[in-house]
Amino acid sequence: MELDSAMMSRMLTSLTLVFHIIFATVGVGIPVMISIAEFVGIKKKDPNYTLLARRWTRGFTITVAVGVVTGTAIGLQLSLLWPSFMQVAGNVIALPLFMETFAFFFEAIFLGAYLYTWDRFKNPIYHWLLSIPVIIGSTMSAFFITTVNAFMNTPQGFELEGRTLTSVDPLAAMFNPATPTKVFHVVTSSYLTSAAILAAIAAFAILKKKSSAYHKKALKLTMVATFIFAIMTAVAGDLSAKFLADEQPEKLAAAEWHFETEEKADLVVFGTLNEDNEVQNAIRLPNALSFLAHGSFDSEVTGLNEFPEDETPPLWIHYMFDLMVMLGMYALGVSFLYLLLTKIKKWNQHNKWILWLIVINGPGAMLAVEFGWIFAEVGRQPWILRGFMKVAEGATTSPNVGWMFLLFLALYIVLGIGAVSVLRKMFKHNPAELELEKRYPQVEKGGDLK
């Protein structure tokens, strides 16, 4: 591996994105959860839910702040690290990028309004209404920026003659073949991850200091949401695999170590590769890849050997794919188990074991997002614009990228430590039970309604 500018640019971009998507993911999902909790609180006239929304919102401000500044960083780094790419692609993707900033603007305005008007309105529904534009803004942001990424995977809507673009069609570029499945998968998995993290927090609180009604209600709400979003994410994931089989077969084939084109293809789970690229130690699910790719067990799946060697992605993305799928299944399984336990009267849904499984699911879901993105991004190597421009042609030639990598690494360490310690402080010294008593004196100790 040669540490030239292109390689360093890749590393710095990865660093920024790996850090940014933690905050971007919860930035898309948490407003949805806040809005649901506040609405339930208003409808049931139960201050437990209202307090839940309030406390989530308070923590959310911290993650939003880091999301905003790292988002600004990646926005500028696109031009600073990939000037040649932006010069060419800017002609085609300017529209969604521009719209993304509008969505961001919209969200920023209403988030400020939402944060500072909790007790301003006589009718609480007006305050709740302010959460709707926040959700619209954050989800639209995710939509627009994902179309840009989708475009890089399946570019269309232009013709390239040398370095000149002709016949540009901005809408065709935006609504390229990868857009629907990518957007669907990104949005549902963000919702899922946010719900899973909030559920993990509630479960952890119950584990630590026995339980109050507040935390139990929080857990139930977030676990129901986790289950619903996990199903949607699984559907989106399945559609994404079928999309890959049709439009980006080399990515799917590399993910599945599927070398020969064949019918009735097996799905390879984990395992290792030997020197001759033969799969060993793996669990093989007969015919499952055919089903995953085309929806029938005997369909033909294109193998990696069909592609020139310098146009195929590295084979380690197989592990990223497997880990992502496994963690996704885990989220679905845990939330289903919890719901099952609540339905069957004589079982206790708050026993230690299930709570720990739920706690693990929080970071697990976030890791799945990271693995999924690494799979998606490395899976289109060596291209930056698949079929048109390779990564090395898009990078800056500046010799100083290495130093900037260290600078940003230091920045993200500082931001990461800062965010975690502020969040800990925020909630440690101000337990929910106390705040509930202070704010809503009509509620009995323990959080139940009188």
Partner 1 sequence: MSYEMIGITVLWIFLYGYLIVASVDFGAGFFAYYAKVTKQDHIINQLISRYLSPVWEVTNVFFVFFFVGLVGFFPDSAYYFGQSLLIPGSIAIVLLAIRGSFYAFENYGSKKSNVFMFLYGATGLLIPASLSTAMTISEGGFIEETDNGVRLLTGELLTSPYSWSVVFLAIVSVLFISAAFLTFYASKANDQPALELMRKYTLFWGSPTIIASLTTFIAMSQHNHRHFENMLDLWWMFGLSVAFFLGALLLIYQQKRYGLAFIFVMFQFFFAFFGYGAGHLPYLLEPFITIESSVTNETMGLALVIVFIAGLLLLIPSLIMLMRMFLFDAEYVKGKK
Q: Give, as ranges, the residues between 428 and 447 that touch partner 1 (CB under 8 A).
A: none
Integer Cα distance of 10 and 306 in angstroms: 27
Please, which residue, 129 or 337, has the CB nearer to partner 1? 129
Q: Which of 83, 177, 180, 363 binds partner 1 (CB under 8 A)?
A: 83
Please report how close the Cβ of residue 98 comes to partner 1 at its closest, in angstroms: 5
Among 400, 445, 446, 448, binds partner 1 (CB under 8 A): 400
Instruction: Say if CB 159 and CB 167 are below 8 A apart.
Output: yes
The binder of partner 1 chosen from 15, 40, 42, 113 (CB under 8 A) = 113
Should residue 79 be labelled a site residue for partner 1 when binding is judged by CB under 8 A? yes
Footprint (CB under 8 A) of partner 1, residues 30-59? 58
Burial (CB count within 10 angstroms: exposed 0-12, middle 13-18, buried 19+), residue 122: exposed
Helix H, strand E, coil C: the string for 117-147 is: CCCCCCCHHHHHHCHHHHHHHHHHHHHHHHH
Query: Taking the complex as a whole, how short is the minimal distance between the CB of residue 24 and partner 1, in angstroms?
Result: 14
Question: What gap in Å lies between CA 296 and CA 288, rounded to an integer?
Answer: 9
| Minimum gap (Å) between residue 26 Cβ and partner 1 | 14
Contact 325, 237 (CB under 8 A): yes
Q: Is residue 333 involved in binding partner 1 (CB under 8 A)? A: no
Q: What residues between 247 and 306 interact with partner 1 by CB under 8 A? A: none
User: Which residue in 4, 11, 15, 84 binds partner 1 (CB under 8 A)?
Assistant: 84
Task: For residue 97, state whether it binds partner 1 (rule: CB under 8 A).
Answer: yes
CA distances 153 to 79, 131, 342, 369, 377, Å, are 19, 33, 43, 18, 9
Do the Cβ atoms of 415 and 66 come closer than 8 Å? yes
CB distance 158 to 168 below 8 Å? yes
396 belongs to the binding site for partner 1 (CB under 8 A) = yes
Strand ranges, E, within 290-357: 300-301
One symbol per residue from 141 to 180: x for binding partner 1 (CB under 8 A), - otherwise; what is it? ------------------------xx-xxxx---------
3, 43, 112, 278: residue in contact with partner 1 (rule CB under 8 A): 112
Among 397, 413, 444, 445, binds partner 1 (CB under 8 A): 397
Q: Does 24 bind partner 1 (CB under 8 A)?
A: no
- Using CB under 8 A, pick the residue from 49, 56, 110, 243 that binds partner 1: 110
Cis bond upstream, residue 363 (ω within 30): no
Q: Are 48 and 436 in contact (CB under 8 A)?
A: yes
21 contacts partner 1 (rule: CB under 8 A): no
Choosing from 88, 183, 199, 331, the residue that interacts with partner 1 (CB under 8 A) is 88
